[in-house]
Structure 1
Amino acid sequence: MAPMTSLDEARELLREFPVVDGHNDLPWALRQQVRYDLDARDIAGHQNAHLHTDLPRLREGGVGAQFWSVYVRSDLAGDAAVSATLEQIDCVRQLLARYPADLRAALTAGDMEAARGEGRIASLMGAEGGHSIADSLATLRALYALGVRYMTLTHNDNIAWADSATDEPGVGGLSAFGREVVREMNREGMLVDLSHVAATTMRDALDTSVAPVLFSHSSARAVCDHPRNIPDDVLERLPGNGGVAMVTFVPKFVLQAAVDWTAAADENMREHGFHPLDTTSEAMKVHRAFEESHPRPVATVATVADHLDHMREVAGIDHIGIGGDYDGTAFTPDGLNDVSGYPNLIAELLDRGWSTSDLAKLTWRNAVRVLGAAEDVARDERSRRGPSNATLEQLDGQ
């Protein structure tokens, strides 16, 4: 019998401790491509030509739990943002109803473990951007009641109460209402997701939250100097908070050479009338034409592993995870082309000397622990106080 390769070992490990992925934009891709027509994009079979994600490739990749992003673009606001978020939640519910043999709804850490025991993929939801609650704590609570288990405080643009990593400073981090949002998330048991937010917002949230925080899809700024990544001083605070930073695979966030290229590619998209994040077939034609004349710097599995090595060194093995951002990015690293690629990353880390115990924390245990800890905090917070009905106007004078 031939000796086991690192890839064989990776697949064996993932059968016991599958990947909890922090962020996948399949619902938005289904909205953009087919307006939620699940017959037109039946993920029971391979959808390689259209999507990074389908059930066969999730199985091949060793995914045991997925936070489905119920993202809506930040140019939507108010009731329009809330309605679009509800449509995204409905999409996830349709997927759960359509594929019950493969997907199981998960609201708690216990649900995640039960899904693992059944061999199904635990399906959780994360809202991406505080614009989804339209400055309403009651709407925040309603999203939690519908199954949303984290909220990213901003997307690419500031909101009235929190600064984004990719916008000009507004309130200087979190406003008074923003801190109240964090406290209410703690009370509900909804994880505070600090991907996309400014470093000032990260620090304010860590100062405010009494529950572990999450970075659902962010990498290390010391390795790639992009504002979407996490500074070392913030990574250093995760052990004290108990939170988890989930490395993302997006080349423009993990490879320094890709940062400048992406800025030029985004400008080209705008010149052709497309949003830089547009992944429709027409937009992708523009992307491909640009790439033909401007060769794209290529990230690899090793590029992502470099970030994980650094994040483990700074934050510790108990505070890192994986959040690929599949179907939310036009490009992916070689070897991590779609959701089937996770074993390649685990094999790379094995080759770098990571132990199976460390890898089990990275893939499964850390994320499950953090959700469970948020539940524990929520029980304590609810025993001490009722829901907040504070408003933006009351706290921030707006």
Structure 2
Amino acid sequence: MEERAARVHKEAIIVDGHNDIPSVMFATGVDLAARRAPTELPRLHTDLARMKAGGITGEFFSIYVDHRYAEKPTVRGGGSARHALDLIDIVYQQVERHPDALMIATRAEDIRRAKREGKVACLMGVEGGHAIENSLFALRTFHRLGVRYMTLTHTNTNEWADSSGYGGVVVTRHHGLTPFGEKVVREMQRIGMLVDISHVSDETAAAVLKMAKAPVIASHSSARALAPHPRNLSDDLLRALARNGGVAMVNFFSAFLDPKFAEAEERFAQKYKKELAAIGPKYETKPLEAEREMIALREGAAFPVTPLSLLIDHIEHIIQVAGIDHVGLGSDFDGVTALPAGIDGVDSLPKITLELLRRGHSEEDVRKVLGGNFLRAFEAAEAYAKGTNTTLSGDGDTTSIDSVSADAGTR
């Protein structure tokens, strides 16, 4: 079985929908060629050696924009759009430094070419719709720079879409999408940028899936039926995603897989509420120190170990509800604090292939989960974009918040 799994994994095109290593590189200066440099880095899930060992073909590097960049721009980090540009540049820098191992990818065919050439296709997805600063001009510019999906919200509700929230705090302002939010979705699909419904509220996800003309993805969300976290997808949303032709890419974070771990996480958050709130202001310009203090706090708490079997359970549940063509992988590597047993980083991906085969899934179906399903959805989104009218109307392009809120229309 191990030999069979190794063969299937080597042959497959493997796509990971979400990896936060750009934020780590921005904060620390670490290069993908070094497993742990600066040497003081507490943890790292991603580097060139691990990506090669894990057999990864396409990696979506997250252009994660914390909502604080929108609330309080800084000299170092700028505002939302500026920070997104910084992280996009970091991805390009890595490709320029390591051309033998990495290549920029903007099309499904680029991912296939990376497989043939033995490279990793570097894709990008903006995490947090506030990054476009309510401008379709900015949205299109990010697309021209290579961004191929955008998560409509992060943990914050923005001016045009509601978030699923964070830590039990949910801010509902729109009950889905505003008229401008609908324009964002239509424009994303017109230009071939995948709409990502991870992090959005159920109402927002339902609104997207009702209007979408091309496949939609959830880049890093698991199944709510197995772990009742608002970040996960309900069975109703999974079925709607399947009707849309989209893909739910399973998140590896223990809190999204394991109810017992999520309960321990909640106890930890309540017990250390004051300490956690103080870390950000205390280490505003010292991310490594903030990370060390967070790890020290977590080491003093009792967290259960999530078995790898639960990750596979989530994949299988989505297969049962949505179908084999609508599930993929969205690890959230280098963006989470805990992973299932045996999953230590990108190099652990072969274990998923082995477990799926052990449970009786066919080699063809395993290849679909590993990356084939995403490729199919990506190609369908590209085909839809090619078939749409490419003439810009200018509709809704205003950056005025008042105009966004009122949906002032053309100008």
If the length of structure 2 is used for normalisation, what is the TM-score?
0.89
- Asked if the contact 1:186–1:381 (Cα under 8 Å) also holds between the matched residues in 2, the reply is no
The 1:265–1:30 alpha-carbon spacing in structure 2 relative to 1, beyond 3 Å, is: farther
Alignment-derived partner of residue 321 in structure 1: 328
* Equivalent in 31, 55, 62 of residue 69 of structure 1: 62
Alignment-derived partner of residue 199 in structure 1: 202
More off after superposition, 368-377 vs 378-387: 378-387
Deviations 1:205-240 (A, max 9, x none): 001211100110000000000000000001011222
Query: Could you tell me how far apart the structure 2 residues matched to 1:94 and 1:219 are?
Result: 32
Query: Could you tell me how far apart the structure 1 residues matched to 2:141 and 2:298 are?
Result: 43
Measure how far apart 1:190 and its partner are. Answer: 0.3
- Asked if the contact 1:213–1:242 (Cα under 8 Å) also holds between the matched residues in 2, the reply is yes
Alignment-derived partner of residue 240 in structure 1: 243
- Asked if the contact 1:269–1:275 (Cα under 8 Å) also holds between the matched residues in 2, the reply is no
Alignment-derived partner of residue 26 in structure 1: 21
Deviations 1:234-261 (A, max 9, x none): 1011222110000010011111011122
Alignment-derived partner of residue 274 in structure 1: 279
* Equivalent in 233, 248, 251 of residue 230 of structure 1: 233
Query: Could you tell me how far apart the structure 2 residues matched to 1:160 and 1:49 are?
Result: 36
Measure how far apart 1:263 and its partner are. Answer: 2.4
Deviations 1:255-288 (A, max 9, x none): 1011122223345265241259x99443343333
Provide the secondary structure at the position in 1 that maps to 2:377: helix
Alignment of 1:96 with 2:95, yes or no, is: yes
- Asked if the contact 2:17–2:220 (Cα under 8 Å) also holds between the matched residues in 1, the reply is yes
- Report % sequence identity: 40
Query: Could you tell me how far apart the structure 2 residues matched to 1:322 and 1:203 are?
Result: 22
Query: Could you tell me how far apart the structure 1 residues matched to 2:204 and 2:197 are?
Result: 8
* Equivalent in 187, 191, 202 of residue 188 of structure 1: 191
Alignment-derived partner of residue 49 in structure 2: 56
Gaps of 5+ in 2: 72-77
Gaps of 5+ in 1: none
TM superposition outliers: structure 1 runs of 4+ over 4 Å: 383-387
Alignment of 1:44 with 2:49, yes or no, is: no
Alignment-derived partner of residue 336 in structure 1: 343
Provide the secondary structure at the position in 1 that maps to 2:65: coil
Corresponding letter in the other structure for 2:349:
Y
Measure how far apart 1:383 and its partner are. Answer: 4.8
Measure how far apart 1:97 and its partner are. Answer: 0.4
The 1:283–1:270 alpha-carbon spacing in structure 2 relative to 1, beyond 3 Å, is: farther
Alignment-derived partner of residue 369 in structure 2: 362
Query: Could you tell me how far apart the structure 2 residues matched to 1:270 and 1:21 are?
Result: 35
- Asked if the contact 2:124–2:149 (Cα under 8 Å) also holds between the matched residues in 1, the reply is yes
Corresponding letter in the other structure for 1:84:
H
The 1:303–1:389 alpha-carbon spacing in structure 2 relative to 1, beyond 3 Å, is: same
Deviations 1:266-318 (A, max 9, x none): 45265241259x99443343333333432112112111001011000001111
Provide the secondary structure at the position in 1 that maps to 2:79: helix
Corresponding letter in the other structure for 2:234:
P
Query: Could you tell me how far apart the structure 1 residues matched to 2:333 and 2:393 are?
Result: 38
The 1:255–1:198 alpha-carbon spacing in structure 2 relative to 1, beyond 3 Å, is: same
Provide the secondary structure at the position in 2 that maps to 1:164: coil
- Asked if the contact 2:42–2:292 (Cα under 8 Å) also holds between the matched residues in 1, the reply is no
Query: Could you tell me how far apart the structure 2 residues matched to 1:386 and 1:189 are?
Result: 17
List aligned pairs for 1:368-383, cutoff 5 A: 368-383=375-390
Q: Number of aligned residue pairs: give it.
A: 386
Measure how far apart 1:30 and its partner are. Answer: 1.0
- Asked if the contact 2:31–2:94 (Cα under 8 Å) also holds between the matched residues in 1, the reply is no
List aligned pairs for 1:282-297, cutoff 5 A: 282-297=289-304
Alignment of 1:172 with 2:179, yes or no, is: no
Provide the secondary structure at the position in 2 that maps to 1:76: helix
More off after superposition, 181-190 vs 237-246: 237-246
Query: Could you tell me how far apart the structure 2 residues matched to 1:142 and 1:270 are?
Result: 40
* Equivalent in 371, 386, 406 of residue 397 of structure 1: 406
More off after superposition, 332-341 vs 147-156: 332-341
The 1:270–1:154 alpha-carbon spacing in structure 2 relative to 1, beyond 3 Å, is: farther
Measure how far apart 1:370 and its partner are. Answer: 1.2
Alignment-derived partner of residue 138 in structure 2: 139
Query: Could you tell me how far apart the structure 1 residues matched to 2:393 and 2:215 are?
Result: 21
Corresponding letter in the other structure for 1:152:
T
The 1:270–1:125 alpha-carbon spacing in structure 2 relative to 1, beyond 3 Å, is: farther
Corresponding letter in the other structure for 1:66:
E
The 1:275–1:372 alpha-carbon spacing in structure 2 relative to 1, beyond 3 Å, is: farther
